[in-house]
Amino acid sequence: ETGVTQTPRHLVMGMTNKKSLKCEQHLGHNAMYWYKQSAKKPLELMFVYNFKEQTENNSVPSRFSPECPNSSHLFLHLHTLQPEDSALYLCASSQDVRGGSVTDTQYFGPGTRLTVL
């Protein structure tokens, strides 16, 4: 148990559906992240939020829409996804985002396994 929870753990959706992934951290951290992990590829950073403000968007298609209402919660809203978006979506949190520091250590949730039909 890392202190980061994600729901749902598994999700199957059609290309026309709208769904949301939820992440919650109980570590008192200020930064939260969304990653995508596809088979045989490194973790790809999607979004970074620091103190509820988005600080990074790694050229993610607009069919993925993040929301961070407070430092403890992070959502990823999904709409009109493509089959190639099927992957494991991981949420993480860290104390800070200053870079090159122990406060950067990220703690991950268990992930949501997404399948787009």
Partner 1 sequence: DQQVKQNSPSLSVQEGRISILNCDYTNSMFDYFLWYKKYPAEGPTFLISISSIKDKNEDGRFTVFLNKSAKHLSLHIVPSQPGDSAVYFCAASPRIGNQFYFGTGTSLTVIP
> What whole-number distance in Å separates Cα of residue 58 and Cα of residue 62?
11
How many C-alpha atoms does 107 have within 13 Å on its Cβ side?
21
Closest C-alpha among 79, 78, 69 to residue 112: 78
Nearer to partner 1 by Cβ, of 16 and 41: the residue is 41
The rounded radius of gyration (Å) of the Cα atoms in the chain is 13
> What whole-number distance in Å separates Cα of residue 25 and Cα of residue 92?
8
Site size for partner 1 (CB under 8 A) = 29
110 binds partner 1 (CB under 8 A): yes
Query: What residues between 58 and 87 interact with partner 1 by CB under 8 A?
Result: none
Listed ranges 13-21, 62-70, 76-84, 92-100: which one lies at the site for partner 1 (CB under 8 A): 92-100
56 binds partner 1 (CB under 8 A): yes
Listed ranges 13-21, 62-70, 76-84, 100-108: which one lies at the site for partner 1 (CB under 8 A): 100-108
Among 16, 42, 62, 69, binds partner 1 (CB under 8 A): 42
> What whole-number distance in Å separates Cα of residue 40 and Cα of residue 79?
25
Number of neighbouring beta carbons within 10 Å of residue 28: 10
Interface residues with partner 1 (CB under 8 A) are 2, 4, 6, 31, 40-43, 45, 48, 50, 55-56, 90, 92, 97-102, 104-111
